[in-house]
């Protein structure tokens, strides 16, 4: 019975079918003739993988040096001999000179990779590590790793590959500019091996599978070429092993960043807690390699460490599906497995020849990512590394150039980040000529695997139910608008018909008591200084590749001209935001502010979303607080609370591949408020979300306002769908309904009562009549004149990009309300307006 089921699954595998966990588990048990069939199928996928990488018939390896930055670790893995205790080391960390010396010897011996391996956050466990870092001027281990990587780049030319363990989204963002690639073994998704006493990972906080899966996903969101893998034989069942392989497949397909997967066999080591554990037999190991190759498909490189198997078995590893040997060093030992010497390159060459394959050196980043960098894109590899890559790569194959010799090169910002580029008249021609195409040129690559995204979207769009009685919830809102439970707010948010009319009427009454009858507006100008962006937000139709027809970047002179034009037209504010262009330098943001202030000294500068702040501060390698202080000193007044979308990560990871997590958005905005930099707050709704998310988002904003008092207003932003990638892919709703819009504006007024006084409504997204409805549903502000607006227009909004003061007045006149001009911080007195106008 089992044999029959196995052979049916084998046939499916041979036919290239997608396999589920039960089928993968069956294949892992293949032996004898079944294993022979399995490896033949795997070798075909291997050949396809080599061809798709642009190296048909060629197995690769990376000539490297192994730099053990520190062998101290806060974890206690029961099989590990790399991690040790302080008294066994001469120093907690290798010195900077020692690190550079290892790299320099590697460069002299023809290496191209500097592998940085170290224990996870040793300063959290060992006082000597904390003291050493303090004495040497580093805030943490990762700061030291970053500094060391730059020294290696500048003094030796080797390319760093960083293995510092568990990293957060912000830490990955901070390290990406200094390394073409990074890595972290998943090892296993079997949580019991971490949580149960006696398990190999018990007592190791960084080995929680949920934590490690989050790192893999965050690496994808930050677009880091990433190496991961499984550790075979540490006590996992075949089903658990299958689940681990499939988890890597899912994440790899969704983000496209997993460049190689290592299938590593566990070896029991003396003087460890697992020194008597049984190692997997070679046949089982071969089956695991073959199954992993078939499951991952040809888009990912597969590796088996050659020093952990007997030399005579290397041809069989190739036959099982591997196409890469990983890093090989003629200079340093494998510090994780020092008892297992690296094989000679000639031995690997003979093994390849026995399989009718060639052997060639590669760089630490695989050809797909090197090719992208050499095209000028900063999507995968930071532009500050492009010259280092170019010096070592073969321009035809994007592997390592055997004739190249590493030489230290400056690690610095690229030139031309804010030079004029592309369709700089888009702000005006978008209304007359429209877009060149309805989608960017890399639509099928930048946004990740749509099938995986579809599974997430189906989950997030399913709305919660409420059993709360509407009449009771409404009476509670009349008594104490800000005192309801989330379920009661959800009842109001989902109201329809006359119930919704009552909610909107209550919101309008609260608006009157809070801010009066005036409909306010600000005379401002939007200046989107670039739309070049590689983050991969699936809702965004504004972002373009640098080579796309609709891409543009403004020069500082053009920004100054637009600020002066705005000032001449009576503007008191310029709102400046742009795409996350890797070619922007760390100094460009302050230059933008100074340029605007010089052009119009009295102009209020409202600039840079939390996403821009996160990436710019990481690029500058300074804490967010310090970066914001630098911007404030340059003339920044307030920041827009955009990039919030929905502050729920389940929704965010459907909407965007690479944007900052909700917790990071909150941290950045809270930091700005603490520094006296106020902000707006926003919510984009009506896509793959549901009313429960809207209530949760408003609750988050309300709690933050209670802590800081820094929000000036709340701006509901209806999703504009027409050109949005996630809508074009068939995964998002066509924006919110009018019912949704009324409910969001009204419940926002109710929930935020007494905390955020001003609720803005977007004429750009809703049009004149829709805006009037919102002004009768709790809103009191029209936002700005804008003068130019490309983000909503690129998405397909048909309500223009500019309104005069008289046109804004007409909107309010239509419902019998007066208008009043305001400043960014909602002052309406003549003195304040005069000062703001300069």
Task: Give me the DSSP letters along 166-231.
Answer: ---HHHHHHHGGG-SEEE---B---THHHHSTTSTTTT-GGG-HHHHHHHHHHHHHTT--EEEEEE
Distances (CA, A) of 691 to 290, 686, 722, 802: 46, 9, 22, 31
Distance CA 559, CA 563 (A): 6
Q: What is the DSSP letter of 822?
A: -
Please report the pLDDT score of residue 801 as a whole number.
61
pLDDT at 591: 96
Average pLDDT, the chain: 93
- Would you say 295 and 244 are in contact if contact means Cβ atoms under 8 Å apart? no
Backbone angles phi, psi at 821, to 5 degrees: -70, 145
Question: Which band of pLDDT confidence, cut at 50, 70 and 90, is reported for residue 623?
Answer: very high
Closest CA to 825 of 687, 683, 638, 574: 638
Rounded Cα–Cα distance for residues 771 and 779 (Å) = 9
Under 8 Å between Cβ of 759 and 772: no
pLDDT over 90, % of the chain: 84
User: Which pLDDT score, from 0 to 100, does residue 419 have?
Assistant: 82
* Average confidence (pLDDT) over 621-640: 97
Does residue 793 carry a pLDDT above 80? Answer: no
For residues 592 and 576, the answer to whether their CB atoms sit within 8 Å is yes
Residue 706 banded pLDDT, cuts 50, 70, 90:
very high
pLDDT of residue 543: 85
Query: Residue 517 is encoded by which pair of tokens?
Result: 């009858």
The per-residue pLDDT for range 136-168, each reduced to its tens digit, is 999 999 999 999 999 999 999 999 999 999 999
Mean pLDDT of the region 524-540: 91
User: Which residue do the tokens 């998943």 mark?
Assistant: 186
Which class does domain 421-836 fall in?
alpha beta
Cα–Cα–Cα angle for 775, 721, 815, rounded to 5 degrees: 15
How far apart are alpha carbons 781 and 759 in whole angstroms? 6
The CA-based dihedral angle spanning residues 632, 635, 641, 647, taken in that order and rounded to the nearest 10 degrees = -30
Q: Which residues pair with 63 in a beta bridge?
A: 328
pLDDT at residue number 410 = 95
pLDDT at 597: 97
pLDDT, position 390: 97
Comparison of pLDDT for 585 and 366, the residue scoring more: 366
Alpha helices (runs of H) in 223-265, residue ranges in sequence order = 238-255
The number of CA neighbours under 13 Å toward the Cβ of 689 is 30
> Is pLDDT larger for residue 797 or for residue 786?
786
* Between residues 318 and 799, the one the model is more confident about: 318
Give me the pLDDT at residue 433, please: 75
Surface-to-core class of residue 31, CB atoms within 10 Å of its CB (0-12 exposed, 13-18 middle, 19+ buried): middle
Number of residues written out for the chain: 838
pLDDT of residue 76: 93
Pairwise CA distance, residues 830 & 774, whole Å: 27
Q: pLDDT of 454-510, one tens digit each? A: 888 887 877 777 777 999 999 999 999 999 999 999 999 999 999 999 999 999 999
What is residue 621's DSSP assignment? T
Give the model's confidence band at 838: pLDDT under 50 very low, under 70 low, under 90 confident, else very high. low
- What integer pLDDT is reported at residue 829 of this predicted model? 76
Each residue of 729-784: pLDDT tens digit?
Answer: 899 999 999 999 999 999 999 999 999 999 999 998 999 999 999 999 999 999 99
Q: Name residues whose C-beta falls within 8 Å of residue 181's C-beta, 6 or more positions apart in sequence.
A: 161, 162, 224, 225, 226, 227, 259, 364, 365, 369
Q: What is the mean pLDDT of residues 782-795?
A: 73
The pLDDT confidence band at residue 796, using thresholds 50, 70 and 90, is low
- What does the pLDDT read at residue 797? 53
CATH 3.20.20.70 domain residues, the chain: 2-374, 421-836
Tell me what pLDDT residue 434 has.
Answer: 74
Class of the domain covering 2-374: alpha beta
Tokens 């408003």, located at residue: 698
Q: What percent of the chain has pLDDT over 70?
A: 95
**Max Cα distance, the chain (Å):** 88
93-138 pLDDT tens trace: 999 999 999 999 999 999 999 999 999 999 999 999 999 999 999 9
pLDDT at 125: 96
What is the distance of C-alpha 523 from the center of its chain?
34
Residue range 217-270, pLDDT digits in tens: 999 999 999 999 999 999 999 999 999 999 999 999 999 999 999 999 999 999
**pTM beyond 0.95:** no
pLDDT in tens, 35-70: 999 999 999 999 999 999 999 999 999 999 999 999
Residue 439 pLDDT > 80: no
């Amino acid at each position: 019975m089992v044999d029959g089921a196995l052979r049916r699954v084998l046939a499916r595998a041979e036919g290239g079918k997608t396999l589920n966990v039960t089928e993968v588990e069956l294949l892992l048990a293949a032996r004898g003739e079944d294993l022979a069939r399995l490896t033949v199928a795997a070798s075909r996928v291997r050949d396809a993988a080599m061809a798709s990488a642009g190296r048909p018939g060629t197995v690769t390896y990376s000539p490297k040096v192994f730099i053990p930055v520190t062998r101290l670790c806060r974890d206690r893995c029961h099989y590990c001999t790399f991690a040790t205790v302080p008294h066994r080391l001469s120093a907690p960390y290798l010195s900077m000179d020692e690190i550079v010396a290892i790299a320099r010897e590697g460069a002299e011996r023809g290496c191209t990779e500097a592998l940085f391996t170290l224990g996870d956050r040793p300063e959290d466990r060992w006082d000597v590590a904390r003291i050493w870092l303090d004495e040497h001027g580093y805030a943490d281990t990762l700061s030291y790793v970053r500094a060391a990587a730059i020294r290696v780049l500048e003094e030796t030319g080797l390319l760093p590959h960083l293995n510092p363990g568990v990293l957060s989204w912000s830490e990955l963002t901070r390290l990406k500019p200094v390394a073409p690639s990074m890595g972290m073994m998943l090892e296993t998704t079997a949580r019991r091996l971490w949580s149960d006493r006696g398990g190999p990972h018990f007592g190791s906080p960084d080995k929680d599978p949920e934590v490690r899966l989050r790192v893999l996903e965050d690496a994808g969101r930050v677009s880091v070429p990433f190496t991961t893998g499984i550790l075979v034989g540490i006590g996992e069942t075949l089903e658990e092993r299958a689940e681990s392989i499939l988890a890597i497949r899912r994440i790899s397909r969704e983000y496209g960043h997993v460049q190689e997967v290592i299938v590593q066999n566990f070896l029991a080591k003396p003087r460890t807690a697992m020194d008597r554990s049984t190692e997997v037999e070679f046949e089982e190991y071969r089956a695991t390699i073959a199954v992993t190759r078939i499951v991952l498909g040809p888009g990912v490189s597969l590796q088996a460490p050659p020093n952990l198997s007997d030399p005579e078995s290397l041809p069989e590893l190739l036959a099982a599906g591997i196409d890469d040997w990983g890093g090989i060093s003629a200079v340093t030992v494998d510090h994780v497995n020092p008892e297992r010497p690296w094989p000679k390159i000639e031995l690997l060459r003979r093994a390849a020849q026995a399989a009718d394959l060639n052997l060639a050196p590669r760089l630490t980043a695989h050809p797909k990512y090197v090719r992208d960098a050499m095209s000028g894109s900063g999507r995968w590899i930071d532009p500050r590394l492009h010259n280092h890559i170019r010096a070592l790569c073969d321009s035809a194959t994007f592997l390592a150039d055997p004739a190249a010799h590493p030489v230290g090169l400056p690690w610095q910002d690229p030139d031309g980040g804010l030079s004029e580029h592309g369709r700089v008249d888009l702000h005006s021609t978008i209304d007359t000529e429209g877009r060149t195409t309805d989608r960017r040129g890399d639509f099928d690559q930048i946004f990740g695997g749509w099938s995986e995204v579809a599974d997430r979207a189906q989950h997030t769009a399913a709305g919660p139910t409420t059993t709360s009685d509407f009449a009771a919830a409404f009476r509670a809102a009349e008594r104490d608008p800000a005192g309801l439970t989330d379920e009661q707010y959800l009842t109001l948010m989902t109201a329809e018909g006359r119930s919704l009319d009552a909610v909107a009427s209550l919101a309008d009454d609260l608006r009157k008591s809070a801010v009066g009858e005036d409909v306010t507006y600000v005379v401002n100008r939007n200046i989107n200084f670039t739309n070049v962006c590689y983050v991969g937000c699936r809702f965004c139709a504004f972002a373009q590749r640098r080579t796309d027809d609709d891409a543009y970047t403004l020069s500082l002179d053009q920004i100054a001209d637009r600020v002066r034009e705005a000032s001449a037209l009576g503007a008191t504010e310029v709102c400046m935001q742009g795409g996350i262009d890797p070619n922007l330098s760390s100094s460009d943001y302050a230059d933008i502010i100074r340029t605007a202030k010089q052009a119009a000294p009295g102009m209020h500068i409202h600039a840079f979303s939390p996403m821009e702040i996160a990436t710019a501060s990481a690029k500058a390698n300074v804490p967010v607080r310090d970066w914001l202080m630098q911007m404030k000193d340059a003339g920044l007044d307030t920041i827009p609370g955009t990039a919030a979308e929905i502050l729920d990560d389940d929704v965010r990871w459907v909407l965007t591949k690479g944007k900052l997590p909700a917790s990071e958005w909150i941290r950045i905005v809270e930091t700005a408020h603490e520094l006296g930099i106020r902000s707006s707050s926003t919510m984009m709704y009506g896509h793959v979300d549901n009313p429960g998310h809207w209530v949760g988002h408003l609750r988050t904003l309300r709690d933050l306002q209670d802590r800081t008092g820094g929000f000036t207003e709340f701006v509901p932003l209806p999703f504009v769908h027409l050109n949005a990638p996630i809508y074009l892919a068939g995964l998002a709703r066509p924006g919110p309904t009018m019912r949704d819009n009324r409910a969001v504006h009204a419940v926002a007024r109710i929930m935020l009562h007494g905390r955020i006084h001003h609720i803005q409504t977007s004429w750009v997204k809703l049009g004149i009549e829709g805006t009037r409805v919102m002004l009768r549903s709790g809103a009191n502000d029209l936002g700005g004149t804008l003068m130019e607006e490309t983000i909503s227009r690129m998405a397909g909004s048909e309500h223009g990009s500019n309104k005069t003061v008289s046109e804004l007045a007409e909107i309010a006149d239509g419902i019998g309300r007066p208008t009043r001009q305001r400043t960014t911080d909602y002052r309406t007195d003549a003195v304040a307006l005069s000062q703001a106008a300069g």
